Amino acid sequence: MKTNFIHEKITFNIDDEYGQSQTLAFVFDGNSKITASNGTFDNPKPNAFSTVQISDCPGSTPSCRKACYVHGLEKYAPDVHNAYKHNSINIRRVLLDENNSAILSDKFARWIKANCNEFRWHVSGDIFSREYAQFIKHVAIKTPDVLFWIYTRTFDFVEELNGAGNLVVNLSADIDNDYEAFNYADEYNLRVCYFSNTGEIPLRLRDNDVIFPNYSLRGREMDNPEDHKWWKELTERQKKMVCPVDFYGQSEKRRCGKCKRCMKHYKK
C-alpha cells in the first residue's frame, strides 16, 4: 500500500486527571488506491482517518484477522502504523467526554471540508464503540458537501450511523460472518462487501454487492489477469461484482472513486 502522510496534524487540548492541559495529535492518511479525487496516483493526498487493526475491530473474524493487509503495513511502514496507534489512543480519550467529542468533531469537519472531496473512515481499524459511531456520523453531518464511506464489521453499531445522507455504509463480510452480514444488510438496506478467502462466493450476494478477492485469487501478476483460474470460473454476473482495483491492480486509471460502487448508497 502506498501511503502519503499529511505533515500538518490536527491538535486538540485536553485536561488530564491532574487538571493539566495536554495536546493530543490526530493524523490523517491517504494512499494511491483511495484518493482518486485527492491528488494523483503518485502523489496522493490524505483523505482518511485510521486506527489499529484487530484491537480496534471488535467484529473481526478469523478469516479477516489472518489476511489483514495492515499486518504488512505494520511491518514495512512502522511510522504509519505508529500514527494509527496514537490516533487510537487519543480518540478514545476524547470520546470519554461528550463536550470534548463535540469539539473534536467540529475540528475534524473543518479540516475535511478544507481538504477532501471524499473521505474514508479506516484504512485500518473499525468502529470500536457506540460513542465512536456517533462521532463518525456527527462529522459527516457537519460536512454535508463531502462524501464519506466506511466498511465495517461492527454490525451492532450500524444503526448509530443512520441520519447522515452523505455517509455510505458498507458491511464487510467473509465466510465467518456472512449470515449475520446479509441479515443486517437486508434490515438496513446496505451493501455487503464480501472478502473471498479461498474463492467461495455466497449465493446471497446481490447485484450491487462487491467481491474483494484474497491475494491468491487476483490476476495482478499475470499478463492477462482474466486468465486466472478463479476469474474464469466466475459467472458474468459475479465478474461485475469483483473490485477492479483489487483484482487487476492499482494505477492512475484504477483507483477508488473511478468505479464508485462502494461510494454510492446501496440500491436493490
For the ranges 40-49, 204-213, 232-241, which has the lowest average pLDDT?
40-49
- Report whether 62 contacts 72 (CB < 8 A): no
Residue 3 has pLDDT above 80, yes or no: no
- pLDDT of 43 reads 84
Average pLDDT in the 235-251 region? Answer: 93
- pLDDT of 53 reads 96
The 8-class DSSP code of residue 59 comes to T
- C-alpha cell read off for 125: 481499524
Kindly indicate the confidence band of residue 256, based on its pLDDT and cuts at 50, 70 and 90: confident
- pLDDT of 66 reads 93
Model confidence over 102-157: pLDDT tens digits? Answer: 999 999 999 999 999 999 999 999 999 999 999 999 999 999 999 999 999 999 99
- pLDDT of 268 reads 79
- pLDDT of 219 reads 86
Average pLDDT in the 179-203 region? Answer: 97
Q: Which helix (H) or strand (E) holds 212?
A: strand 210-213
Residue 6 has pLDDT above 80, yes or no: no
Helices (H), the chain: 62-67, 70-76, 78-95, 98-115, 130-141, 178-188, 229-232, 236-241, 244-248
Question: Residues 24-51, buried b or exposed e (16+ Cβ, 10 A)?
Answer: bebbbbbbbbbbbebeebeebbbbbbbb
Residue 8 has pLDDT above 70, yes or no: no
Domains of the chain, by residue range, sit at 3-263
- Tally of residues, the chain: 268
Residue 230 has pLDDT above 70, yes or no: yes
- Report whether 166 contacts 147 (CB < 8 A): yes
Model confidence over 51-88: pLDDT tens digits? Answer: 999 999 999 999 999 999 899 888 988 988 999 999 99
User: What pTM did the predictor assign?
Assistant: 0.93
- pLDDT of 203 reads 94
- pLDDT of 100 reads 95
Q: Decide the pairing of beta strands 147-152 and 167-173.
A: parallel
- Report whether 214 contacts 247 (CB < 8 A): no
- C-alpha cell read off for 175: 465466510
- C-alpha cell read off for 170: 458498507
Kindly indicate the confidence band of residue 39, based on its pLDDT and cuts at 50, 70 and 90: confident
End-to-end CA, the chain: 32
Mean pLDDT, the chain, as a whole number? 92
Radius of gyration of the chain (CA): 18
Residue 173 has pLDDT above 80, yes or no: yes
Chain CA centroid to CA 243, Å: 14
Q: Which helix (H) or strand (E) holds 170?
A: strand 167-173
Cα separation, 201 vs 207, whole angstroms: 13
Average pLDDT in the 175-191 region? Answer: 97
